């Protein structure tokens, strides 16, 4: 779902850059850098997630400029690392896609905002909702945060992308509905399945790798 061409207006480019930098600063302030430096397992999760995403994002199907489809995977990374560290892992993966020529450096802020930051923040919001509901069954974490969280996050990112392309005048709203929006529910299914499967596997075999999981709440 990355912007592979410079399709944004100058005003949109500066707006996305401002939002990107604002969220990036907040993420940098939220990361426990000392814990990352001292925890080898967390380092392996962080760099492993970045490399895995960088590889997965090479595999995409192009529909029209700005409307490419690929698995995000940010939900699983957010549940593993927390939203702030997931943002940095995703941006590191985005650097890999820029180096390999899959996405332009000029659109780094816009792609980082849509592909990384929005899904991470949406996922984190769902995690907070699940905590407030205080579910005692661990399946609630898997389904709400993993499966449904991934589907909702990719839907929100897709809607934001379409809004950006529509307001920039690249596509008419009817074109976006016909060529992309009506297929968005279908994109949510594989995203939810892949992320949910990863979260389920981690919860069964390595629950300690899920930093957003409070095992004391479940029985």
Q: Based on C-alpha coordinates, what's the Rg of the chain?
A: 17
Phi, psi of 61 (to 5 degrees): -115, 125
Q: Which domains does the chain have, with CATH numbers?
A: 10-217 (1.10.1760.20)
CA distance 141 to 127: 8
CA distance 204 to 68: 33
Q: Look up residue 58 and give its DSSP letter.
A: T
Q: What are the 10-residue block averages of pLDDT along the chain, 219 residues in total?
A: 67 91 96 90 93 88 68 93 96 93 86 94 95 86 93 93 84 84 87 93 89 79
Quote the pLDDT of residue 62.
Answer: 61
pTM of the model: 0.91
Quote the pLDDT of residue 51.
Answer: 94
Nearest residue to 173 (alpha-carbon basis) of 187, 184, 162, 189: 162
Quote the pLDDT of residue 4.
Answer: 57
Phi, psi of 69 (to 5 degrees): -120, 135
Tokens of 50: 């970045």
Query: Contact, 198 vs 79, CB < 8 A?
Result: no
């Amino acid at each position: 779902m990355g912007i592979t061409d410079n399709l944004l207006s100058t005003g949109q480019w500066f707006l996305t850059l401002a939002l990107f930098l604002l969220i990036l600063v907040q993420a940098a302030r939220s990361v426990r850098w000392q814990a990352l430096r001292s925890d080898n397992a967390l380092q392996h999760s962080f760099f492993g997630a970045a490399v895995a995403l960088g590889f997965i994002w090479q595999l995409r199907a192009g529909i029209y400029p700005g409307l490419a489809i690929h698995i995000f995977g940010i939900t699983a990374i957010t549940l593993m690392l927390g939203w702030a560290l997931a943002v940095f892992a995703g941006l590191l993966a985005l650097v890999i896609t820029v180096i390999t020529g899959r996405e332009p450096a000029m659109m780094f802020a816009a792609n980082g905002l849509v592909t990384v930051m929005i899904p991470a923040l949406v996922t984190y919001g769902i995690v907070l909702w699940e905590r407030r509901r205080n579910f005692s069954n661990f399946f609630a974490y898997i389904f709400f945060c993993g499966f449904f969280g991934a589907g909702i996050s990719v839907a929100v990112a897709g809607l934001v992308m379409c809004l950006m392309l529509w307001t920039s005048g690249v596509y008419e709203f009817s074109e976006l509905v016909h060529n992309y929006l009506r297929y968005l529910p279908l994109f949510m299914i594989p995203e939810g399945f892949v992320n949910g499967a990863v979260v389920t596997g981690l919860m069964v075999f390595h629950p300690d790798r899920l930093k957003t999981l409070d095992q004391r709440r479940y029985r």
